[in-house]
Structure formats: structure tokens, C-alpha cells
Amino acid sequence: MDFRELVYITVVADCKSVTAAAKKMYISQPSLSQIISKVENDLGIKLFDRTAYPITLTYAGEKYVDTARKILMMKDNLRRELTDIGNGVRGKITVGIPVERAGYMLPETLKEFRRVYPGVEIRTQEAKASVLLESLQKGETNLVVIPKNEDGLGPELQEELIYREELLFVAGPGVVTPDMLTEDGAYIRMEKVTDLPFIILKKGHAIRRAVDRLFRNCGATPNIIMETTSNINAVQLANSGYGATIVPERAVEIFGGREKFNCYPLGEAYAWDVNVIYLKESYLDGAERYFIEVMKKLFSHRQ
């Protein structure tokens, strides 16, 4: 059993296909099949059920993959520790972050980070929150930057607060009437706007979970006229008068801020924490730790 075999078996398990795994690792399918057969013969037990489609792990295979991930993490942690000890300034950090949040947070962060670690390559995986968390648990990313999941994280994950962000209600001119606002006119009253047509993000996005929770708390079902994958798209459509939407504040900041739109905060009770998440057992090297601290420094004042 060697590290190469551990990697191959875990990738096949993730892809649920020898063909897809072979393509991902730039190896021929026959060669990968031979490696799997060799490992199974050496162990004297089957790791995959090839009668199922897609292929699935046997009980022994589940144990193998679980342990393989831990071994590979220990190997990577050791490499990172030794690099730190040697004061190395080269390396790679893979950051998982939703695409629009990447456009909002990364330009400033990377500019500051590169001044100290010019030799460290930053790669991004841009996807919705649910996909990013799965990728983190598979070891495909080092850090994930997403809003806090109110349902909680698995025990294997650790999170740190970067900054707190308000959620805003956005609608076209004339949509919001005085009775929809608090007495001081500062905040929207959610129970007064539940009948409006809404543009909301598709399921799997953090803001969709937050919006669904808002409506549940009001005992109402949203009148959804459009689902989208973009907060920016939702803001522009709402501003045109097509419907109302609820978005994180950074979605209007990129257009110049609240004063450019008819938007109202929902109040502190509906703000959320934007966190960085990583595997609890992973070793954060100096570059990763600095990357986190840069984000905190740049964005914590926006709470």
C-alpha cells in the first residue's frame, strides 16, 4: 500500500466511476482498474461493488477510504509543517468561495496577501455553499469562505468569523409603502411584504436557506416569480420593478452601495456571519493563517 494507491482509491470513490476517475487523474482506465485489482488482491477483500451503478464502496471500502483520507491529510500536514519550519515561501492554497463573493472579497485580499507571500499560488473553486463544503470534506480545498450555516457544521470542521453582514430587502420604486416599514422607517417588516412577488436564489445557496427561514418565521410561503443563481441578477431585476428580493449587502455594494437602490435592512436579527471554514485536523501553514488574517483585517470593519 502506497500513497499513490490511497489517492487513486479515494478519487474513484468520489467519482463513483473508474472512467471518470481515470480522466480526472490523467491515467488510462485499464491502468487504474489494474491498480484497484492489485490493492484488492493484496488486501484479500473487495473495496468496490462493481455490480451497482454507479459503483459503490463495500463496507471494507468505506473503512479503507475513511482511513486513506486521514493518512493523506497527515502527509499533507507534515509537508506543511516542514515547509513552515524551513521558512518556505512557496506553495499553493485552494480557496472555495461562491463566485460573486469571490469578486467582492478576493481582489483586495489577494493584493495584500501577495505582498507577503508572492510565491504562494492561490487557486479558487467557485460554487454554491453546499458544493464547497463537500469539496472541503474531500480535501479538494484548504479553506472555504461562506456565510454561517444555521443548521451547524460537522464535527470535523472548524469555522472562524471574518465579518458580519446585513441582509437587505430590495424592490423597485414605489413598491415599499410606509406600512411595510418599522415606525422609524429604518427597517422592513417582513410580515408586511410576504405577499409581494419575489426573485430568490435557487436551492443550495446560503441566501436561499436564509430567505426560506425568514418566511417560515413569518408563517408564510414566498410568492416566487423567478429563481436565479445570481444575487447581482436578483438586485438588478428587483430594482427594475420586476419583483422584490433579499440579498447580502455585498450584492449592492458592488454597484455603489445602498443609496443607489430602494433597499432596507432586515435588522441585526437577520444579519449573518461570513466565516472561513477548514478541516479541524488540518494544519494551517503560515500562508494560510495569513490569508485568513488579511480577510479579517480588510472586512471586519464592515460589521
CA distance 6 to 237: 49
pLDDT value for 85: 64
Q: Which three cell numbers stand for residue 138?
A: 474531500
* Residue in the block written with cell 505582498: 115
- Domain map (residue ranges) of the chain: 3-81, 89-164+273-302, 167-270
CA 208 to chain centre: 14
Q: What per-residue confidence (pLDDT) applies to 303?
A: 54
- Output the pLDDT for position 71: 92
Q: What is the rounded distance in angstroms from the CA atom of residue 7 to the CA atom of residue 118?
A: 29
> Helix (H, G, I), strand (E, B), or coil: what is residue 47?
coil
**What local confidence, expressed as pLDDT, does residue 202 receive?**
92
CATH class of residue range 167-270: alpha beta
What one-letter code names the amino acid at 103?
G
Residue spans of the chain under pLDDT 70 = 1, 84-89, 302-303
Taking the domain 3-81, which CATH number applies? Answer: 1.10.10.10
pLDDT at 302: 65
Cα distances (angstroms) measured from residue 236 to each of 196, 245, 254: 17, 10, 12
**What is the pLDDT, as a whole number, of residue 178?**
87
User: What's the CATH fold of domain 89-164+273-302?
Assistant: D-Maltodextrin-Binding Protein; domain 2 (3.40.190)
Residue 50: per-residue pLDDT: 87
What pLDDT shows up at residue 107? Answer: 96
89-164+273-302 and 167-270 in the same fold: yes
> What does pTM read for this prediction?
0.72
* pLDDT for 88: 56
3-state secondary structure of 153: coil
